[in-house]
Amino acid sequence: MLHPAILVRGSLLAVVACAVPAAAQTPCDQLTRLALPDVTITSAVLVSAGPFALPGGRGAAASPIMPSFCRVAGLVKPEVKFEVWLPANWNRKFLMVGNGGLAGTISYAAMAAPLQRGYATASTDTGHTADNDGHWAEGHMERVIDYAHRGVHVTTQADKAIVQAFYGVEAQHSYFSGCSNGGQEAMSEVQRYPNDYDGVIAGDPANYPTHLFMGAHLWITQALQNDPGGYLPASKLPVLGAAVYTACDALDGMKDGIIGDPRKCHFDPSALVCKSGDAPDCLTAPQVTTVKKIYQGGRTSGGQQIFPGILPGGEAGQGGWSTWITGTGPGRGSHSTLGMPFFRYIVFEDPNWDFRSFRFDKTPGFDSDVDFTDDKLGAIFNNMNPDLSAFRAHGGKLIQYHGWADPDISPLNSINYFESVQTKIGDTKSFYRLYMVPGMFHCGGGPGPNTFDMITALEQWAEHGKAPDRIVATGGAVKDRTRPLCPFPQEAKWKGSGSTDQEVNFICALPSNK
C-alpha cells in the first residue's frame, strides 16, 4: 500500500487544457507564473544561441553549440526537480531523456542532442539529489517511489503542460529515450503509464531491478570478495579476454574481433588455471571459480536462477569488466558501488549492513533475503509485466536494444523479457522490436560498432509507419566499420563476399539453428 502523499495525482494536462486556450502562447519569462497542480516553476530564462556550458551532472563536461532556447526549471511535489528546454525553432515534438545509476541528477548532457534537433527536451533528478549515493533513501520511501517510477511520470505531465503553454499547441509526438536505469524508466513508462509517450527507446534496460541488484551486483561483489583469493585483478583481464576471443570469435564465420552471439560461446576459464602458482598470465583456482560464478549469474542455494549471468565478450577493454566488475580493487567495480548503497539504504535501511550477510537461501517457509527484497520492493521497482496491450492500443512504438557484451546487465534479461511479451500477446513486430548489438558494452563502447541513431528510426516508425527492419551501427574497434542491427531473433549474416567492415555486405536473417 503506497502512502497517500506519494500517490500519482490528477492529470496536469487536463488542467492546463482548460487554463490555456488553443493558440495562446506564454512568453518564456512569464512561465514562472504558470499555475499547475503540485508544480512550481522556479526559473524560466532565455538562452542565446552559441556555446552553452552544461551544468553539473552525469556526463556534463563540454560546452556544445546550442540553438536559442527557453530554459525552464521546476519542481513537482514533494521533491522531483526537472528541467525542460524549449527551442525557438521547434520541430513540434517532445523528447524526455532518462537517467543512469541511482539517478539524483538531471541528465543535462543527454538533453543537448535532442535540443539541437529541434526537440523540446526534458530530464528529471527523479526526486533526490546525489549521484549513485544511497543516503538520500534512508527513511524516505517517498523518494524511493519517485526514483522507481513516479518521478519520470509526473515530470512528463508537467513538461507536456509547459510545452503547450509556451508554444500554444500540444506536441505532435512525444518520445522517451534512456539507457540502463533510463532503459528501466522507459520500460516503466510503457508498462505503468502507457499513454505518456507515442514512442519509447529502452537501451540495456535495468527493468528487473530487485533481481539485478541481487543476482548481479551483489552476487558479483560476493564472488570477488567472499574468498580472499578469489578477487580477479584488472591486470589479468587481457589474458582472460584474449582466451575468450580465441575460443569464440570465429563462431559466426568471421574472425573480426566481435563475438556475434555469445550464447554460442562455451568458453571454460579452467583452461587458464595456473600450473605452478600464481602468475600474470594465468588464473588461480579461486579466480577461475570467481569467473565461473560471474558467467553463471546469481542463484539461490537451491539452484533457482535469480538473474542471468554475464555473457562472454566484455572481459577486456575500456568500459568492460575493469569498470564494472574488478574496478581498481575489491569493492571498487560498479557492480559494488551501485549495489551496496541500494541494499544499505533502500532494502535494509541500515548504513552498517555487510554484503557478506546476505542469504541466498530460498527454502519454503524460510524467510530469505531474496524473498524479503522482492516482497518489499518488487512491486515498486520491477517492470517485467509482459502485457503491453495498453501501450499497443495507444499506438505506441517501442525500440529496445542491448549490447551482447554488456558487463553490467546481462543481455539475456532483455531477451527473456522480449520473449515473454511474445508469449503473452503474440507477434510484436508491429509495435515492439529488440535489437541485440554484437560487441557492445553497457550502453556503448566495446569492440563492435556501437554508435547508431535510434531516434530517427523511432521517428520513421511512429510518424511514417516505416518499421526499422535494419538499423546501421558504426565505429567500435575499427573506426569506419559499419554493421546492420537486425530485429531479434534475426542477426546480421555476412553474404560471403565483400568487406566485413561494410554493412551492405550483410543481410538480416534468422540464425541457421532456428
Query: What nine digits make up the cell of 510?
Result: 534468422
Element holding 237 (H helix, E strand): helix 237-248
Calculate ∠ Cα 112-117-118, nearest 5°: 100
- Give me the phi and psi of 272, to 5 degrees please: -100, 5
The helix (run of H) or strand (run of E) holding residue 85 is: strand 80-87
Active-site residue, from 159, 198, 406, 408: 406
Instruction: Report which residue type is found at 10.
Output: G
Active-site residue 442, yes or no?
A: yes
Single out the catalytic residue among 107, 123, 180, 188. 180
Check if the beta carbon of residue 162 is closer than 8 Å to that of residue 170: no
What's the CA gap between 191 and 186, in Å, rounded?
Answer: 9
- Stretch (H or E) spanning 71: strand 69-76
**Cβ contact 102:381 at 8 Å:** no
Alpha-carbon span 311 to 404, nearest angstrom = 7
Cell of 100: 543512469
* 371 tagged catalytic: no
69-99 burial, b at 16+ Cβ within 10 Å, e below that, comes to bbbbbbbbeebbbbbbbbbeebbebbbbbbb
Bridge partners of residue 70, in order along the sequence: 46, 86
First to last CA, the chain: 45
CA distances from 284 to 244, 324, 333 (A): 17, 21, 20
C-alpha 159 chain-centroid distance:
22
Around Cβ 331, how many Cβ atoms within 10 Å? 15
Residues labelled catalytic:
180, 406, 442
